[in-house]
Amino acid sequence: MTAAAGPAGSGAGGLTAEERLLRDTTREFAQREIAPTAVERDEAERFDRSIFSRMGALGLTAAPLPESLGGAGFSYLGWTLVMEELGAADMASAVTLSVHILSQLPVVSFGTVEQHADWLPPMVAGEALGAFCLTEPHAGSDAAALRTRAARLAADGQELAPDAPPDAVAAYRLHGTKIWISNAPEAERYLVFATVDASKGPKGITAFLVEKGTPGFRFGAHEKKMGIRACPAAELLFDGAVIPASRRLGAEGQGYRIALSALAEGRISIAAACVGIARSALEQAAAYLHQRTAFGAPLAELQGLRFMLAEMAREVAAARALTHEAARARDRGEPIGEASSLAKWTASDAAMKVATDAVQLFGGSGYSRGTGIERLMRDAKGAQIYEGTNQIHRLIVADAVLERARF
């Protein structure tokens, strides 16, 4: 499927030749390699590892990472173009890749030279899949309330007191549960957040690099989701998994900052994928209005339906504009907390509205699973919840607006 022309289409304004090539290459790949099996994989709730491997071969598994670490070195704006095209083809594949990148970015920013060399190469190449592990049964939107514990261990394996000096710590023993972890259990590499001292609240949260197969780390229930069903999500269970201190990412107590900085970037990525959902719904609805007739004329000639289509195009254009602005702010090195929340909140709401309207325009065909239109609506609903619920993003934006009003 080609992009619609004009504002509702590919958003070509202001793009470099390299960014346009990246967008077009990803679009061709997504429509050829991903879209044809999207409905079947959703129905079967089947994760296709070969799609991730092919994204790796194309260089997408490291698109926004620096070239010095084996990445493609594309701008973050370029990365949003990739995500829009994947979202237009299949949100499940887009989420798999977004989470994979999300789990790498903190290693790029906070990892040591040794961690860069040890952890990133197979992820960059698309040989090892990554997961970002923050959410817990009692800590969703309130990430600072997580309960997974990282006990500090001496070289002899004995547990140290919380106030023992950091240089005395040889390893950590993890106990706790994570839920709704996208890419689990398929992922090989997990960025896990746990607290070394719950009494310190966010200041006790610490990040760890954990490999699949580590003794004491196993998988629990697999989520049965309404949408995004071809991207797996599972429970992680830690029962004494020992992680060497060399696999701690950043300093003790730095994990909360690491998590929030990564999530701000990830929200832009998800916003872009939501633009893809909305664009796909708009394009398919427009084509359907041309093809279907009623009362002796194409549906496209009915003014009420034309107005619906125009409003859908407005939603797509507004969501893309906010998403690109957030990406450009990130490329400029500016704070992105408010911008990323605006983009994610707006784009996921737009995806839900446009997909719902597309189902309405398709009528009974839209409600049928055979067309794939209802899948867009189910996928969009998930995007309003994960990466921070849209209610949380309203709070983030309101806090920023009120803070500026102080001066």
- pLDDT (tens place) for every residue of the chain, 407 residues total: 333 333 344 455 689 999 999 999 999 999 999 999 999 999 999 999 999 999 999 999 999 999 999 999 999 999 999 999 999 999 999 999 999 999 999 999 999 999 999 999 999 999 999 999 999 999 888 888 999 999 999 999 999 987 888 889 999 999 999 999 999 999 999 999 999 999 999 999 999 999 999 999 999 999 999 999 999 999 999 999 999 999 999 999 999 999 999 999 999 999 999 999 999 999 999 999 999 998 888 999 999 999 999 999 999 999 999 999 999 999 999 999 999 999 999 999 999 999 999 999 999 999 998 889 999 999 999 999 999 999 999 999 999 999 999 87
Measured between alpha carbons, how far is 375 from 352 in angstroms, rounded to an integer? 11
Of the candidates 376, 104, 112, the one whose C-alpha atom is nearest the C-alpha of residue 266 is 104
Rounded CA separation 395/25 (Å):
37
| SS3 of residue 250 by DSSP | coil
Q: What angle do CA 362, 363, 369 make, to 5 degrees?
A: 75
Report CA 265 to chain centroid distance, whole Å. Answer: 9
Query: What is the pLDDT, as a whole number, of residue 2?
Result: 31
Q: Which residues are catalytic?
A: 387
E strand intervals along 245-348: 248-249, 293-294, 297-298
Cβ–Cβ < 8 Å for 249, 106: yes
- Would you give the end-to-end CA distance of the chain in angstroms? 49
At 264, list the tokens. 């701000």
Place of tokens 């967008």: 23
Q: Which two tokens stand for residue 114?
A: 């040794």
- Written as one string, the DSSP assignment of 336-386 is -HHHHHHHHHHHHHHHHHHHHHHHHHHTHHHHSTTTSHHHHHHHHHHHTTS
Domains of the chain: 17-124 (1.10.540.10), 130-256 (2.40.110.10), 257-402 (1.20.140.10)
pLDDT for res 9: 47
| Type and span of the H or E element at 171 | strand 171-182
What integer pLDDT is reported at residue 4 of this predicted model?
A: 35
- Can you give the pTM of this predicted structure? 0.94
Helix axes 76-89, 17-29, angle to 10 degrees: 20
How does 295-310 read in b/e, with b if 16+ C-beta sit within 10 Å?
eeeebbeeeebeebbe
Using CA atoms, how far residue 378 sits from 66, 92, 226, 227, 358, in Å, is 34, 11, 6, 5, 12
